[in-house]
Chain A
Amino acid sequence: MPEFRDVSLSFDGRTILDHFQFSLEEKTRTAVLGTSGSGKTTILRLVSGLQKPDSGTVGSFSGKPSFLFQDDRLLPWSSALENLTALGIPPERAKKYLAKVGLAGEEDKLPEELSGGMKRRLAIARCFAHGGDTFYLDEPLQGLDLKTAGDVLAFMAGELRGKSALLITHNPEEALTLADRVVIVSGPPLQVVSDRPSADFSDPDELKTALAGK
C-alpha cells in the first residue's frame, strides 16, 4: 500500500517532512500541487523508493514503475532512439512512441541536437514506451509550448488510463486533465492543505484560486 506513516526527512539541515502522514491509492492518478521548493518532489522520490526517509515507513505502489524526471536525464552520447532502447525497449516500440510525441524523423539525433521542448518529449516518450503499472511524473509539461503541451497532455491522458500515477506539478490544467485526485501542499515542512477529487473543480481557474489561497 503506497502510504507515508510518520515519515520525517531532513536535507542540508532543512526539515522537509516532519512526522508526515499521507496515503495514495492503487489505480488512482493523484496530482500533488504546490509552489516550487515546497518539497513535493520528495513525496515522489520517497514513494518510488529512490530515497529513504530518516524515520517512519513509506509503502510503494505495486507492479512495474516508470519515471519522468524533472531534469529529463537523457543519455547525452546516445541518439533519441538509443535513449529508449538502452532501457531494453524494443526498437519498433521505441519508434512508435517517438512518433506519438512528434519526434518521428529525429530518431538519430543526439539530445544536444534537440531543442529543450524536444528533449522533454523524448523523456516523455521514454517514460511511456517503457510502460508499467505506476507512473511517477515530475512536472511533465515543463518547457513545452502551448500547442505541443496540449497534444502531449492528450497523449499522456490516454496512456495513464487505468494506471496508478503520482503527478507532481504546479499547473492546474495538467492536474485536472491527468488526475482523479488533487492534493495541494505547502511547506517545507510539507503539509497537505487540501485533498479533493478532481471532479470537484469545474475548471482550472477554480483550482488556481484554491492553490493561491492555500
Chain B
Amino acid sequence: MKKLLRGLLVMAFWLLCWQGVAMLVGKTVLLPPPLSVLKALLTLAGTWEFWFSAANSVLRVLEGLLLGVLAGVLTAAGTARFPALQSLLSPVMSAIKATPIASFIILALVWFRVSFIPVFTAFLIVYPLVWANVEQGIRSTDPALLEMAHAFRMPRKNLLTKIYVPSIKPYFLAAFNSGMGMAWKAGIAAEVICSARTSIGGALHDAKIYLETENLFAWTFAVILLSILLEKLFFRLAAWEGRRRDA
C-alpha cells in the first residue's frame, strides 16, 4: 500500500513537472500538456485504425522475434557442436552486431516489401543475441552431468530435455527478454523509416509530418504500454511453463 502510494506520488510529481514545462513553453506543437495527450490517446483508442495498427505492429515484431529465436537456437546448436562452423560464422555475428540498425532498415527497403521490413529488423536484433546466449548456455552445461548421461547411456531425448534445456534456459530467457524489448523498439523504428501503412510506426511518421504532437505522444505511450504488456505476458508464460514442468 505504502509502495503504491509512493508510486502514485512520484507519477504525480513528474506529470506536474511535464504540465509546468508545457505551460512555460506554451506551444502544443512543441510540447503538449499531459491532459491533451491523454485525450488524444483516448480518441485514438476509440478508432479501429488504432487497434488494427497496434495488432499489425505487434504481429510483425513477434514474427521477427520468433524467426530470430528459431534461427538463433539452431545456429547456436551448430556452432557449439562444430568449432569450424563457429569460426566460419563468427564474422557474420560481428558484422550484424556492428552495423547500425538504420543501415539494415534502408537496405531492407531495397530488398523487401515494406510490410516485411519490421519483421526483418526484429529478426536481426534477436538472432545474434539468442545465438550468442544459447551457445554460451550449451558450452556451460555441466560436463560432469554430461559424463553421467553418457555413462548411463541416457536416452537422447532425455539428454536434450533433462540436461541441455534446463542448462540453457536461463541464458535463453535473458536473451529473449532483452531481445523482445529491443526488437519492439527497432521494429517500430523500421516502420517509421519505411512509413509502413496501418502500423504504429507509420502512424508516428504521419503524426510527425502533420505536426500532430499530441498524437505523436499518444502513439509513443501506446508503444510503451504494449511493451510493458508484452513483457508481462512473457513472464507469465515463462512462469507457467516452469510450473507445468515441475508438476
Tell me whether A65 is interfacial, beta carbon within 8 Å.
yes
- Are B163 and A71 in contact, CB atoms less than 8 angstroms apart? no
B146 CB → nearest A CB, Å: 10
A82-99 interface bits toward B, Cβ cutoff 8 Å, 1 = contact, 0 = none: 100011100000000000
Contacts of B145 in A (CB 8 A): 73, 75
Contact-size category for B: 10 to 19
Residue of B145, B148, B166, B246 most packed against chain A (CB within 10 A): B148
Task: Tell me whether A87 and B147 are in contact (CB under 8 A).
Answer: no
Question: Which of B144, B145, B151, B166: most chain A CB closer than 10 A?
Answer: B151
Point out the residue from B152, B162, B163 that lies within 8 Å of A67, measured CB to CB: B152
Q: How many residues of A are in contact with the other chain, CB < 8 A?
A: 17
CB distance A69 to B148 under 8 Å? yes
B158 A67 Cβ-Cβ under 8 A = no
Q: What is the distance, in angstroms, from B196's C-beta to the closest C-beta of chain A?
A: 42
The contact of B155 among A48, A67, A78, A88, by CB within 8 Å, is A88
Residues on the A chain within 8 Å of B59, using CB = none
B17 at the binding interface (Cβ < 8 Å): no
Give the nearest-CB partner of A79 in chain B.
B246
Q: Is B237 an interface residue (CB 8 A)?
A: no
Chain A hits for B246, CB < 8 A? 79
In Å, the complex CA distance between A181 and B62 comes to 65
Complexed CA–CA distance, A78 and B159 (Å)? 13
Instruction: Indicate if B228 sits at the interface (CB-CB under 8 A).
Output: no
Cross-chain contact A71 with B162 (CB below 8 angstroms) = no
Tell me which of A50, A69, A82, A88 contacts B154 (CB under 8 A).
Answer: A88
A41 within 8 A of B: no
CB closest residue in chain B, given A130: B152
On whether the beta carbons of B162 and A86 are closer than 8 Å, the reply is yes
Find out whether the CB atom of A73 lies under 8 angstroms from the CB atom of B148: yes
- Residues 55-71 of chain A: 1 if any B CB is under 8 Å from the residue's CB, otherwise 0? 00000000001110101
A155 in the interface (beta carbon within 8 A): no
Q: Which residues of B contact A71 (CB under 8 A)?
A: 144
> A82 to chain B: which residues have CB within 8 Å?
162
B162 near A75 with CB under 8 A, answer yes
CA distance A197 to B155 in the complex (A): 38
A134 to B150, CA, bound (A): 16
Please tell me if the beta carbons of A87 and B166 are within 8 angstroms of each other in the complex.
no
Chain A nearest Cβ from B27, distance in angstroms? 58
Instruction: Please determine whether B158 and A86 come into contact, CB atoms closer than 8 angstroms.
Output: yes
A75, B163: Cβ atoms under 8 Å?
A: yes
Residue ID in chain B nearest A85 by CB atoms: B158
8 Å CB interface, B128-174 against A:
144-145, 147-148, 150-152, 154-155, 158, 162-163, 166
Complex CA gap A130/B162 in Å reads 17
Among the listed A65, A73, A77, which residue makes an inter-chain contact with B166, where contact means beta carbons less than 8 Å apart?
A77
- Give A130 to B149 CA distance when docked, in angstroms: 12
Q: Which residues of A sit under 8 angstroms from B158, Cβ to Cβ?
A: 86-88
Residues of chain A lying within 8 A (CB to CB) of residue B147: 50, 73
A170 to B58, CA, bound (A): 64
Minimum Cβ distance to chain A for residue B114 (Å): 45
Q: Residues of A contacting B163 with CB < 8 Å? A: 75
Instruction: State whether B148 touches A67 (Cβ < 8 A).
Output: yes
Determine the chain B residues whose CB is within 8 A of the CB of A86 once the complex forms.
154, 158, 162
Query: 23 A-B residue contacts at CB 8 Å?
Result: A48-B151, A50-B150, A50-B151, A65-B151, A67-B151, A67-B152, A69-B144, A69-B148, A71-B144, A73-B145, A73-B147, A73-B148, A75-B145, A75-B163, A75-B166, A78-B166, A79-B246, A86-B162, A87-B152, A87-B154, A87-B158, A88-B154, A88-B155
Not counting A71-B144, A75-B163, A87-B158, a sample of 19 additional A-B residue pairs whose C-beta atoms are within 8 angstroms of each other reads A48-B151, A50-B147, A50-B150, A66-B152, A69-B144, A69-B148, A73-B145, A73-B147, A75-B162, A75-B166, A77-B166, A78-B162, A82-B162, A86-B162, A87-B152, A87-B155, A88-B154, A88-B155, A130-B152
Chain B interface residues toward A at CB < 8 A: 144-145, 147-148, 150-152, 154-155, 158, 162-163, 166, 246
4 residue pairs, one from A and one from B, having the closest CB atoms: A73-B148, A86-B162, A77-B166, A67-B151
